[in-house]
């Protein structure tokens, strides 16, 4: 499987990005301080954005950086800072129930095994890659053409969720 002569720069870039992304994702789950977890989450988002750039999907990569690494991670950091009332080093511990820990690990291991087997046994099509550099145009045409109903529904969902978030976070006024 590993033919050194076929090893290109593209592959090396993928391996580095994938390694950084997976290590950062492990940091999100395993670090005991939730602020470090949140910062590790930002690194994961940036790694995924780099994967998108490598897949010739620059628009999605930019959206990923703006929305995930910019907005969502700051929202999470704000919530973490607001809601910390115990010492920081104990904010992100795994569950104390050993049974739950083993069950979670077992379910994850089974799921991962099934996914790897499914990916390994499937015959993937070997297509000639055509790099399209007008994917933003195609995205706009698809979004405001065939998928315009979904586009409007997404807009309404965002509006409703923002109003709902403000109302829920504001709380009920005690008379």
Q: Which of residues 43-82 bind other proteins (CB under 8 A)?
A: 44-45, 48, 51-52, 55-57, 59-60, 63-64, 67-68, 71-72, 75-76, 79-80, 82
CA distance linking residue 60 with residue 139, whole number of Å: 10
Q: Are 92 and 37 in contact (CB under 8 A)?
A: yes
Name the minimum Å distance from CB 80 to other proteins. 6
Shortest Å distance, C-beta 159 to other proteins: 9
DSSP string, 104-165: HHHHHHHHHHHHHHHHHHS----PPP---S-HHHHHHHHHTTTTHHHHHHHHHHHHHHHHHH
Which of 88, 89, 148, 150 forms a contact with other proteins (CB under 8 A)?
150
Return d(Cα 169, Cα 175) in angstroms, integer: 18
Among 87, 99, 120, 174, binds other proteins (CB under 8 A): 120
What residue has token string 């807009």? 155
Q: Kindly tell me which residue out of 169, 173, 174, 175 binds other proteins, with binding defined by CB under 8 A.
A: 169
Please pick, from the candidates 87, 99, 133, 166, the single residue that binds other proteins as defined by CB under 8 A. Answer: 166
Which of 127/175 has CB closer to other proteins? 127
- Cβ contact 38:77 at 8 Å: yes
Backbone torsions φ then ψ of 95, nearest 5 degrees: -60, 150
Instruction: Determine, following the binding rule CB under 8 A, whether residue 93 of this chain makes contact with other proteins.
Output: yes
- Closest to other proteins by CB, 3 or 87: 3
Residue 112 binding other proteins, by CB under 8 A: yes
Count of residues that bind other proteins according to CB under 8 A: 86
């Amino acid at each position: 499987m590993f033919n050194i002569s076929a090893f290109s720069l593209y592959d090396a870039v993928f391996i580095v990005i994938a390694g950084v992304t997976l290590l950062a994702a492990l940091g999100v789950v395993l670090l005991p301080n939730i602020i470090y977890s949140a910062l590790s989450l930002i690194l994961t988002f940036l790694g995924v954005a780099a994967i998108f750039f490598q897949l010739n999907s620059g628009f999605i990569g930019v959206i990923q950086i703006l929305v995930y690494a910019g907005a969502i991670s700051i929202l999470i950091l704000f919530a973490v800072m607001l809601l910390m009332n115990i010492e920081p080093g104990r904010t992100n511990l795994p569950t104390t129930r050993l049974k739950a820990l083993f069950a979670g690990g077992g379910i994850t291991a089974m799921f991962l095994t099934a996914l790897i087997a499914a990916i390994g046994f499937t015959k993937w099509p070997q297509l000639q890659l055509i790099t399209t550099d007008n994917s933003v145009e195609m995205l706009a045409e698809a979004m405001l053409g065939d998928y315009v109903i979904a586009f409007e529904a997404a807009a309404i969902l965002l509006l409703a969720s923002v109003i709902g978030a403000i109302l829920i976070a504001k709380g009920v006024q005690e008379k």
